[in-house]
Amino acid sequence: MTTVLHLNASGTKQGSASRAATAALLQGLSPTRVITRDLAETPLAQVDETWITTRLIPEAELTDADREVLALSDRLIAEIKEADVLLIGMPMYNFGMPAALKAWIDLVARPKVTFAYTENGPVGLLEGKKAHVAVATGGVPVGAPMDFATPHLQQVLRFIGIDDITVHTAAEVIAKEAA
């Protein structure tokens, strides 16, 4: 039984290479259950001062108002926790990831929830998961010196405990699917 969190970060709905690639990869994963998070359909709020300070309040001291501030973050983290596999479609915009994906990252990277600081440095708390990332670019090769999106996303995933990461170029996935 495999649950996949299918996360699309492309602002383009029709003709999106990253969306086409994740759709093809999803078929190959043959999941039992799919949790879909489309960042173009439901944009995420940017973190603000209230959220930043509230996320540091110990669980036992949270008020109902504090819990409401953290509610979206809690839902996004719950989606990751429920999933065995994260399938992320990421286009590269101006050498980086879309702002919508960065907002998702900001909301899921939470101290004492998805990572913890120890005397040996940070430790990810979401271990045992796999990630597939389909990267679409307009000509910048994945892994090129100007590709700031792919290493950033890989670092964040490792930071929260997801070390088993496979990066696919959307063009290769789509070509394979067409063959």
Mind listing the domains of the chain with CATH numbers?
3-178 (3.40.50.360)
With contact defined as beta carbons under 8 Å apart, do 17 and 91 qualify? yes
Distance CA 47, CA 20 (A): 30
Question: pLDDT tens digits for 54-90?
Answer: 999 999 999 999 999 999 999 999 999 999 999 999 9
Distance CA 103, CA 4 (A): 20
Q: What percent of the chain has pLDDT over 70?
A: 100
